[in-house]
A and B are shown apart, each in its own frame.
Chain A
Amino acid sequence: DIQMTQSPSAMSASVGDRVTITCRASQGIGNSLAWFQQKPGEVPKRLIYAVSSLQSGVPSRFSGSGSGTEFTLTISSLQPEDSATYYCLQKVGYPFTFGQGTKLEIK
C-alpha cells in the first residue's frame, strides 16, 4: 500500500498568515492527490483534487501543488474559519490512503 505522510501533524498560525501543509507519498502517485478539510462535528469536505484543481465553491486562498511524491496545500491568507483538520488522499491505486491529518489552529 502507498503510505501518505503529512507534516506537520499540528500547527497554529495567525489570521492573515500563509500556511503550508505537506504530504509525502511512499511512491510516485502522478496527479492522483486530493485534499480534504474537516471541522469538528462535520463531514469532510474536498477542497482540491488532481493536485491543484479547486473544488467549486472553495475560496481561492486555498491552492495545491506538487508532483511525484511531494505535495503541498497552501492557504494564502489564513481566516478564522480555516481552523480544521486537513487530510491528503492518494487514489493512484487501490487501496486509497489518507494522510494522518494536520490539525490547524488559529492563534
Chain B
Amino acid sequence: EVQLVESGGALVQPGGSLRLSCAASGFTLSDHYIDWVRQAPGKGLEWVGRSRNKAKSYTTEYAASVRGRFTLSRDDSSNSLHLHMNSLESGDTAIYYCTRPLKDGSAWWVGDYWGQGSLVTVSS
C-alpha cells in the first residue's frame, strides 16, 4: 500500500528555519517525482515545489514565493524526502502536503497519493 507520511511541522519564529520530511512506503521513492502543496488556514491550495526522480537526477522546481528559501532533498537510504525551509515568513504558515504524482506517458500529474499534511506555523 502506498503511503506518504509528513513530519517536522512546528511553531517557528519569523526568519527561522525548519525541515519537513516525507516518508514513503509501499513504493520506491527514487522512481517517482514528488510534489509539495501547501494550504494556508482557510485558504486555497498552492503548489510549492517538485523533486524529480533519480532518473532525472533529482532536479527540482519551486514556486516563486519560496524559490531561494526552500530546498528539496532526498534520502534514498530511508526512502524519504525533505523540504528545507529557511527565512520563514508569516505567509508560509500552512499545512504542507507531500504528494506523489500519477505518471501518464511522459507526464506526471500532481496529486495521485497524498500524505495527511504537516502544520507549519510562523509566528512570534
Is B76 part of the contact surface with A, judged by Cβ < 8 Å?
no
Answer whether residue B112 sits at the interface, using C-beta atoms and an 8 A cutoff: yes
B44 within 8 A of A: yes
Residues of B with C-beta under 8 A to A32: 107
A-B contacts at CB below 8 angstroms, number: 62
Q: Does A65 contact B (CB under 8 A)?
A: no
Say how far A24's CB is from chain B's closest CB, in angstroms: 16
- Measured between beta carbons, the chain B residues less than 8 angstroms from A100 are 44
**DSSP majority for the B interface?**
strand
Q: How large is the interface on A (under 10, 10 to 19, 20 to 34, 35 or more residues)?
A: 20 to 34
**B109 CB-CB contact with A under 8 Å:** yes
Cβ-defined contact, A43 with B114, below 8 A: yes
Residue tally, chain B, CB below 8 Å to A: 23
Residues of B within 8 A of A89 (CB): 45, 47, 110-111
Closest Cβ–Cβ distance, residue B95 to chain A (whole Å): 9
10 CB < 8 A contacts A-B:
A43-B97, A44-B45, A45-B111, A50-B109, A95-B64, A96-B35, A97-B47, A98-B46, A98-B47, A101-B45
Q: List the interface of chain A (C-beta within 8 A of B).
A: 1, 32, 34, 36, 38, 43-46, 49-50, 53, 55, 85, 87, 89, 91, 94-101
* Interface residues of B, Cβ cutoff 8 Å to A: 35, 37, 44-47, 50, 61-64, 97, 102, 104, 107, 109-112, 114-117
Closest 3 CB pairs of A and B: A96-B47, A43-B114, A49-B109
